Chain A
Amino acid sequence: MSDLALGYLSLPVLLALIFLRMPIGLAMALCGFGGLWIATGSPGIALARLKSETYSTFANYNLTVVPMFLLMGQMAALSGLSRTLFDGASAFLGHRRGGLALAAIGASAGFGAICGSSLATAATMGRIALPELRRHGYPGGLSTAALAAGGTLGILIPPSVILVIYAMLTEANVGDLFLAALVPGLIAAALYMAAARAGVKGGEGVLPRRSLAERLGALGRLWQVGLLFVLVVGGIYGGLFTPTEAAAVGAILTGLFALLGGRLTRESFAAALKETAAASAMIYLVIFGAGFYNGFLALARLPQHLAGLVGGAELAPLLVLALILALYIVLGCVMDSLSMILLTIPVFWPLLLQLDLGMDQDSLAIWFGILVLSVVEIGLITPPVGLNLFIINRLAPDVPLTATWRAMVPFLTADLVRVAILFALPVLTLFLVT
């Protein structure tokens, strides 16, 4: 059998293993190892690679940004900034119809500006905002759906762990990607608010309207969030820091805010470290497995062959891009976003470079990155395995999962509308960067 055929054959095998619940990173490493073994006729080369590949994958300066951002998110959850954000957003939006749901989404967006992970954003904001929403008579489904959707703003609004990984795979500039994600992230927040408004029946409690002085006071209390965002995202873009430095400074500073806020206990601190450890190890295992597997695919020349195939088919470039995005939405229903990106970008990115989408490579990398980010994040809030839904539902055990799913529909519509807008108008993503 030719190497190429072997490469194509490995795909269904890999998917079968993954769907049989083998840890995804392990499945990819195993398929890469097995493929290399069969292709070269002996395990020698695969075993030789293993001598240094684990260490060199993990000892990567640029990748250190991932555990640092995860640590920053955990520290932000301990800092009490989530409460300040929710109070601040309520001061501006609480008197409106459905105002607390809008405030929950606004606060999630604010938390997303200092946290690079969706799950941490959903868990943290859910803990603060869910009890308030329920206390004011918001329907259970709407409350959980708004917070699950709001959680995705954690990765949509920079900083974003997914964009860091994407940048590593396509050699795009992290600072540019972060800046480009800003407007799409704000559009997402606005559309989610519209979706929440559509779900409000009336009869929910409304807060009294606040005076301008009260609002400015609430805004002033958010200086820590503003400082962290400007320092981390602005620092990376302005060339003041490398992304790793910015994440480290952000993590330490957020930890300091938590410490000074007097909310840090030994237990909560240990729990935060353990969460960071588990999430980091999970990501590193997938990165290692994907690296090994993609190494085998490259040896089998599968990405080149597929790119040639698609290029030869003379499909409209935009159609190819749309099909790729649709594939992410389908895969996202069962697979987590990071694994999808690590598995597919090394195959799809060379393919896209073959197509003429009417922009230079740097712009394409950024536009495609933001589009991919937008579609993979949808997977977090689609049944049956949207992780955000589970996290929020664990916080509100009295709300049946089916009620959340039903209330999710307007938010998913908002997502699709946003992807369509970003797809149709690349300028929305690119105007800040170029």
Chain B
Amino acid sequence: MQALAERTARALALAGGALLIGLGLLVCASVTGRALGHLSGAAWLPEGLAAWLGTFGQIRGDYELVEMGAAICVFAFLPFADVSGAHARVEVFTERLALRPWLERGWALVMALALTTIAWRLGVGTADKLRNGQTSFIFAIPIWWPYAACLVLACLGALISWIRLFGRAR
């Protein structure tokens, strides 16, 4: 169970990383399109070429996709940060404390509770967005789609933290 949870966290991190690269490529395409479009205004270009370049342009609303993708990336990354112990902490004062293993378990419990609360509230938020039918400005993507994707990842993250907590308790 423990091993499966950690493998899932790693797989999610890799999937999130792939999505991040995808977003990077999207932005690159958009920027290149914009540059080609600008180039079409150059007077020294033959007319046909300029007209052809004029068909290029920035991907309108690319930032909407980047924003949605970024949120999904972060929720995919979060479980792995916990598993790999990457979260920022202050180490100095507890280094020689005999209580330290107990502290660590306590904070793991708080973290699991926090992640569960976050997933619960995100679920309520998703239901809100589903009900009010809010869509993104340019692509008119229903906002509840990315919310739901994040919700799935947040639930997985919470589940992983509970599994690891009970694995540690034994």
Contact = CB atoms under 8 A, between A and B. Distances in A.
Interface of A: 18-26, 29-30, 47, 50-52, 54-55, 58-61, 63-64, 67-68, 71, 241, 244-245, 248-249, 251-252, 255, 270, 273-274, 276-282, 284-286, 334-336, 338-339, 384-385
Given A282-B88, A284-B77, A334-B92, A20 B103 contact: yes
B68 to A, nearest CB: 6
Given A23-B111, A26-B111, A245-B27, A59 B13 contact: no
A46 to B, nearest CB: 10
A29 B81 CA distance: 17
B14 to A, nearest CB: 6
B31 A241 contact: yes
Given A51-B128, A282-B87, A277 B27 contact: no
A20 B124 CA distance: 33
Interface band, chain B: 35 or more
Interface string B93-115: 11000001001100100110010
Contacts of A252: 21, 24-25, 28
Contact of B110 (A26, A248, A338): A26
A384 B95 CA distance: 11
Interface in B115-138: 117-118, 121-122, 124-125, 128
Given A61-B63, A278-B86, A279-B86, 18 more contacts: A22-B110, A24-B88, A25-B88, A30-B110, A50-B117, A50-B118, A60-B70, A241-B31, A245-B27, A245-B30, A248-B24, A248-B31, A251-B24, A273-B18, A277-B14, A281-B77, A284-B74, A339-B88
B87 A285 contact: yes
A47 B14 CA distance: 31
Contacts of B162: none
Contacts, number: 180
Contacts of A47: 121
A338 B87 CA distance: 12
Contacts of A335: 90
Given A276-B17, A335-B90, A55 B146 contact: yes
Contacts of A255: 21
A200 to B, nearest CB: 32
The A interface, classified by DSSP as helix, strand, loop or mixed, is: helix
Contacts of B18: 273
A22 B81 contact: no
Interface string B65-78: 01110110111111
Nearest to A279: B86
A280 B74 contact: yes
Nearest to A285: B87
